[in-house]
A and B are shown apart, each in its own frame.
Chain A
Amino acid sequence: MSTENDVARSLRSWLREERHEDADRVLDAVFDQVPATPQRRSLWLARRIPIMSSSIRIAVAAAVVVVVAFVGYRLIAGPSVGDQSPSPSASVAPSTAAGPNVLPLGSDQPLSAGTYTLGEAFPVGITFELPEGWESCSSGLLEMGACKASTDTEPGSGVAFLIVENVVADPCGPPNVLLDPPVGPSVDDLVAAISGLEGYEATATLDINVNGFDGKQFTLTAPDNEGCGATWVAEGRTNGVGAGEINEMRVLDVDGVRVVITGAYRPETSEEQLSAIQQVIASVQIEP
């Protein structure tokens, strides 16, 4: 008859026997795969999985050239009253009576509280109010976002504005395999495709109207599975609604342009931050 102490002692001895495990082969396989394995940010807003096709890349590059030329012209012509071109080290300043700030491209740029617009390249005129403490998380001209960075006590969260082109075939599968044929052009087509993503939970849709534009609203929750994350494609890139994330989705038809507005957060996001996200979304004003 043995005791549990006997078992623990023997187990410890047995587990510590030399078994000649050598991970070299495993490490080689891992290092081979790392270059093709994109890292995931805490929110899909922050980093994208690049699968941009060459035609889209050319189109986006052309759009960037137009924007750069426009900015260059503005610089040469001199800033207008209220022009708030952000510098890399400074916050985007609060809006003035002359007009809202343009939400900058890129990530991690601090944004002061105020009124923001998505700028000329976004096909729909959108303005919204941001409270203090947010930062930019826009990874493309058609993927604009403002985020609250994660802290030790609060996960990252944010609000984004996108023109979604298509949806992945399997959110837990390869990110570059998309629905074929692609998702249809209507709000209902996109809502059905996103709601139907396998493994994701979507609430029933609500009919909404924002500034006279009809749309649908629902909540999408990603499975808490690290292998899932790719959901839809905007501007040629696949975005991931990361494991366990929740997105309050609004899909609107703005005179034929399908716009997605989403508030992204996690289950552990505080009530205070949730309220801030909802206030940002509620402040959205749309002009075609």
Chain B
Amino acid sequence: MDTDLVKRAQRGDSEAFTSLAVGLGDRFLAVSNRILGDIGLAEDATQQALLNIWRDLPKLRDPARFEAWSYRLLVRACYAEGHRGRLWAPNLRLLPVDEPMAADPTDSVIDRDQLERAFRRLSLKHRLVLVLHHYLDLSPDEIADALDVPVGTIASRMHYALRAMRLAIDADAAPTPREVAR
């Protein structure tokens, strides 16, 4: 990230902010869509996060930490939209199942729909750490920095999130009593 751009935007240079926002926009939308599972909520979260970045940039003490700080604001916006979405729609919409699928050798191990259902059952904070780690490739240290929590908390959340997903997938895959009776 160009720290000169960050410094200029901190001083109110809207053109510098435009450059920063263009660089973040698609990535923010992709991350928030994966966390929230709803493109409408993801767009709202991305928009709010970018506006908050503009508004609060002067408070950022170290421009070199812009990226981690910007993820923190995105995460906050996702929390806000996630809670709003839960109020409006108790049953989270699943992502469309007709998305193009990349060929993946692990597909034979875990059914894609089971995976998606298990992911959607996770709490928001568990989805957050998984997306930041497995989609953005952030290390636990970087996630801890972005979320402003101890790195041990991140490791714990990742562990419990994956375990919860595995249990949900196994339960999903287990035959129902009717299937056993046959």
Partner of A7, one of B18, B54, B102, B162: B162
- Tell me how many residues of A have a C-beta within 8 Å of chain B: 45
- In the complex, A46→B31 CA distance in Å? 34
Taking CB atoms, residues of chain B closer than 8 Å to A40 are: 55-56, 58-59
| Residues in A whose Cβ lies below 8 Å from that of B130 | 11, 15
A9 and B162 in contact, given A19-B33, A41-B59 (Cβ under 8 angstroms): no
Asked, given contacts A17-B101, A17-B102, whether A23 binds B29 with beta carbons under 8 Å apart, the answer is yes
**Cβ contact within 8 Å between B54 and A34:** yes
Nearest CB in chain B: distance from A109 CB, A: 17
**Complex Cα gap A30–B48 (Å):** 8
CB-CB under 8 A from B55, the residues of chain A are 37-40, 226
Decide: B25 and A26 in contact? CB cutoff 8 A.
yes
B21 touches A31 (CB 8 A): yes
B33 touches A10 (CB 8 A): no
Q: Is the C-beta of A242 less than 8 angstroms from some C-beta in chain B?
A: yes
Q: Which B residue sits closest to A31, measured CB to CB?
A: B18
Query: Nearest chain A CB to B72's CB is how many angstroms away?
Result: 10
Per-position 1/0 for B26-48, Cβ under 8 A of A? 10111001100001001100110
Number of chain B residues whose Cβ lies closer than 8 Å to a Cβ of chain A: 58
B179 at the interface (CB under 8 A from A): no
Cβ contact within 8 Å between A41 and B58: yes
Say if the beta carbon of A18 comes within 8 Å of chain B. yes
Residues in A whose Cβ lies below 8 Å from that of B62: 152
Residue B152 CB within 8 A of the other chain: no
Q: Which residues of A contact B135 (CB under 8 A)?
A: 12, 15-16
How close is B7's CB to chain A, nearest CB, in angstroms?
13
User: B131 interface residue, CB < 8 Å from A?
Assistant: yes
Q: How far is the CB of A186 from chain B (nearest CB, A)?
A: 34
- The answer to whether B43 touches A26 (Cβ under 8 A) is yes
* Of A16, A29, A35, the contact of B14 (CB 8 Å cutoff): A35
Asked if B165 is at the interface of the complex by the 8 Å CB criterion, the answer is: yes
Given known A21-B29, A22-B26, contact A34–B51 (CB-CB < 8 A):
yes
Interface centre among B22, B112, B134 (most CB of A within 10 A): B134
Interface presence of A76 (CB below 8 A): no
* B contact set with A: CB distance below 8 Å: 10, 12, 14, 17-18, 21-22, 25-26, 28-30, 33-34, 39, 42-43, 46-47, 50-52, 54-59, 61-62, 73, 76, 95, 99-102, 104, 106-107, 109-110, 112, 115-116, 118-119, 130-131, 134-135, 162-163, 165-166, 169-170, 173
Q: Could you jot down 19 A-B contacts, CB within 8 Å?
A: A2-B110, A2-B173, A3-B166, A4-B165, A6-B166, A9-B109, A14-B115, A15-B131, A15-B135, A17-B100, A21-B39, A23-B46, A26-B47, A29-B47, A39-B12, A41-B59, A42-B61, A151-B61, A226-B73
Which A positions have Cβ atoms within 8 angstroms of B? 1-4, 6-19, 21-27, 29-31, 33-35, 37-42, 46-47, 150-152, 155, 226, 242
Known: A6-B106, A40-B59, A150-B61. 11 other contacts (CB 8 A): A7-B115, A7-B166, A10-B109, A17-B99, A27-B21, A27-B25, A29-B47, A30-B54, A37-B55, A39-B58, A46-B58
